[in-house]
Amino acid sequence: MYYTLGFKKNIENCIKLISSKESGKYASLIDLKLALGRYMDEIQPYTKLSVDIKELPVLIDNPEHKAILAQGFSIRSQLNDLSQASMIESLVFDDQEKYAQRLYSAINTIESQNVELATLVKIVFRYLLFGKSSKAHGGSTSNALGVLWLNPTDKWTPQDYCEFLVHELTHQLLFIDERVYGHYSCYPELLKKENYAFSTILKRSRPLDKVIHSYFVGKNILHYRTENGLSTDCKVTLHPLTADLVQGIQDTKNSLKPCHMNLMTDRVNLELAYA
Amino acid sequence: MQLEVNFETVELSAAETQRIQLIETELSQTECHLVMLVLE
């Protein structure tokens, strides 16, 4: 969402949510991150941990803490179309420190490319949760804002780590935007298959919320590649090649009918129109 | 390189506060979104 809304509006969203709970002045990135963390703890007390927050997301290695964070990913939801509630199969993750360092290197890379984007990554992500899955590379949930679940392998390239961060940041910023403006006019209607649409990345019929997320992820990954001059696709393994991404974005847009527009608030319809 | 951050909370209008609270209540009662980067 960085490339959709820009830095200022995304920060404004964070400030608005914080302002709904407390007032204050934040003179540094860490002050703002701590305030957003307090907001997250208030709305999601089940993911609250007694862990020192730093500018970079903190690697959670204590098994009890990992189990607490993983709860946020195992809540059943009728909007789960791919058995998402059982995605994390094991919290034992060999070499998680090694992979965390690769993620931190990616944040440094992003910082050298676009300091606004890196600042949003640092503010939004509090915790790194490594967990094994045979189904997904990682993910985010609106049940556990600020938690980044990863399941990397040695095949991930430096570009993959950067794109993974852009991908998950887009989800998190969409969750935050949804809490400020509301994104769907009738949540129960999202469950109905007749209201499914075509997703950008997986390229299949999915619930509208997943489709909207995939659309903005696709747009933001594409923009990130364009901004940083990715001239060849050989360095990417997590996301589709650029031409496929462009096609996926178009296919999603073509699949959206008036019934979908009616299920989305003006906020999402406008973001779609101008994205 | 670090971006300078200096922000204050904002005085939300009554309507905006009410909207955010309503959304918070609605989201606490509706299904959550779980989005992943699926292995293919």
Tens digit of each residue's pLDDT (9 = 90 or more) over A143-175: 899 999 999 999 999 999 999 999 999 999 999
Mean predicted confidence (pLDDT) in A179-200 = 89
Contact B7/A at CB under 8 A? yes
Distance from CA of B12 to the nearest CA of A (A): 7
| Contact between A139 and B32 using a beta-carbon 8 Å cutoff | no
Residue B38: the pLDDT is 63
- When comparing pLDDT for A172 and B33, which is higher? A172
More confident residue, A81 or A55: A55
Which positions in chain B touch A238 (Cβ < 8 Å)? 37
Residue A124 has pLDDT above 70, yes or no: yes
Taking Cα atoms as reference points, which of A87, A89, A93 lies closest to residue A128?
A: A93
Q: What is the mean pLDDT of chain A?
A: 90
Averaged pLDDT, A92-121:
96
pLDDT of residue A102: 98
Is B34 in CB contact (< 8 Å) with chain A? yes
The ipTM, to two decimals, is: 0.86
C-alpha dihedral sign at A86, A202, A96, B33: negative
| Plot region of A157 (φ>0 → left; ψ -120 to 50 → alpha; else → beta) | beta
Are B20 and A202 within 8 A, CB to CB? no
- Least confident range of A184-188, A210-214, A229-233: A229-233
Predicted local confidence at residue A168, as pLDDT: 96
A9 burial (CB, 10 Å; 0-12 / 13-18 / 19+) is middle
| Chain A residue closest in CA terms to B3 | A115
pLDDT at site A81: 61
Q: How far is CA A211 from CA A125, A179, B36, in A?
A: 23, 18, 12
